[in-house]
Amino acid sequence: MPITSGLTVTIDKVGKFQDSIRDLASKRVMVGIPSDKADREPDPGETSAPLNNAEIGYIMEHGAPEANIPARPFLLPGIQSAETTIVGRLKDAGKAALDGNASLADRNLNAAGLSGQSAVQAKIDDGLSPALSEATLRNRVRSGKAVKGAQAELDSRAAGNSPGTEFAKPLLWTGQLRNAVTYVIRKIKT
């Protein structure tokens, strides 16, 4: 005589649950500068190919001592500043997947990515240390680009003031690098 539990299955959602978990586990949210956003508009009259945004981002994040460029980290500190929000969205994605709701899980992954993107861009907007050097500002004045702002910053420093204008902030001159920061959700093989 078979033993019965008295349990009756009216709706079987096991397959949907498994699919949702498998789908979530196969995705990664990445914030940075993807290759399709890396190209830069060349400056007028530029004769050599400019570095792309991903290359510039790497140099800014880690520095290039051989070229006298200090590290000005923006990616990792930006992500860290939004860690609580990002982790909350990832938890919400996991809960949605456990409920078998793949579309809600995806919306939460996108929200996590957007939070990271916004935080990194805000980090750049806030200004990174160290401020631009006087040599860099003089080069901008000589190049004819942003002459008024760069000259105003030089004049302010000559008067004994600390770096303080928008023109002293690294990574904001053209905005190309800042605008290239985004997020992607990539499917990986599991």
Span 125-147, pLDDT tens digits: 888 888 888 888 888 788 776 66
For 20-69, what is each residue's pLDDT tens digit? 888 888 999 999 998 776 777 766 666 666 788 899 999 999 999 999 89
pLDDT greater than 90 at residue 187: yes
For residue 27, is it within any domain?
Answer: yes
pLDDT of residue 167: 63
For residue 8, is it within any domain?
Answer: no
pLDDT of residue 19: 83
Residues 6+ apart with CB under 8 A from 29: 90, 109, 112, 113, 116, 183, 184, 185
Q: Centre a 10 Å sphere on the Cβ of residue 175 and count the other Cβ atoms it contains.
A: 12
For residue 117, is it within any domain?
Answer: yes
Same domain, 124 and 137: no
Long-range contacts of 126-133 (CB under 8 A, 24+ apart): 127/168, 127/169, 127/170, 127/172, 128/60, 128/72, 128/73, 128/74, 128/169, 128/170, 128/171, 129/72, 130/70, 130/72, 131/163, 131/168, 131/169, 131/170, 132/163, 132/167, 132/168, 132/169, 132/170
Q: Which phi and psi angles does 32 have, rounded to 5°?
A: 165, -140
pLDDT greater than 70 at residue 1: no
Q: Centre a 10 Å sphere on the Cβ of residue 65 and count the other Cβ atoms it contains.
A: 9
Same domain, 109 and 31: yes
Residue 138 belongs to domain spanning: 131-169
Q: How far apart are CA 69 and CA 65, in angstroms?
A: 6
For 80-139, what is each residue's pLDDT tens digit? 999 999 999 999 999 999 888 889 999 999 999 999 999 999 999 888 888 888 888 888
Are 92 and 106 in contact by the 8 Å Cβ rule? The answer is no
Count of structural domains, the chain: 2
Q: How far apart are CA 170 and CA 56, in angstroms?
A: 12
| pTM to 2 decimal places | 0.79
For residue 108, is it within any domain?
Answer: yes
pLDDT greater than 80 at residue 79: yes
Same domain, 161 and 79: no
Name the more confident of 166 and 41: 41
For residue 2, is it within any domain?
Answer: no
| β-strands 27-32, 182-187 pairing | antiparallel
pLDDT of residue 174: 76
For residue 11, is it within any domain?
Answer: no
Same domain, 34 and 74: yes
Same domain, 29 and 89: yes
Name the more confident of 178 and 189: 178
Same domain, 97 and 182: yes
Q: Please give the structure tokens belonging to residue 27.
A: 């995705």
